[in-house]
Amino acid sequence: MKLYSRGPVFYKRSRLGLHRKGFDLIKFRTMNEGSDQKKSGLRTQVLDSRITNIGRILRKSYIDELPQFWNVFKGDMSIVGPRPEFPELYVDLEKIVSGFTERLVVRPGITGLAQTQYKHAHNDIEAAGRLEYDMKYIETASFFGDLSIIVQTVLRSMKFKGS
């Protein structure tokens, strides 16, 4: 990242976790520095010009998510669970689909059922659509279910099927 783009290697941004507790999620930075400063900049679009060339590779392979294992180590996240969302978007998402905050009853994950069965959310309506998958995961979570999600995520990363 340092060779291809000015700015820090890591990206840290506030997210909501278990029981609405805030934490700083860490990832490898894939966008130009400061690209998410406006609320409208929190969602990426297909061929988003803010994503660096190396950032596209990191996203497609999910390598940008690897630093989140630090969040798992700290107890903010688990490996599998609903993806954590930006705190400032919960009000909008709750208006689109009532009960969106109910997903905060479990620790958020690096990957989840919505990431393997749904699509990458490019807007709030698509992001709200993840609730169905997140709630299904919460209701049916198991060791073998988590293992299946992890395997599916690894296979997607090897096929460069990330966002």
Domain ranges for the chain: 10-158
pLDDT band at 104 (very low <50, low <70, confident <90, very high): very high
Rounded to two decimals, the pTM is 0.84
pLDDT single digits (tens) 37-94: 655 556 676 667 788 888 888 888 889 999 999 999 999 999 999 999 888 888 888 8
Q: Which residues contact 62 (CB under 8 A, 6 or more apart)?
A: 111, 153, 156, 157, 162
Pick the closest to residue 133 from 120, 148, 116 (CA basis): 116
Task: Please give the residue that has the higher pLDDT: either 55 or 144.
Answer: 144
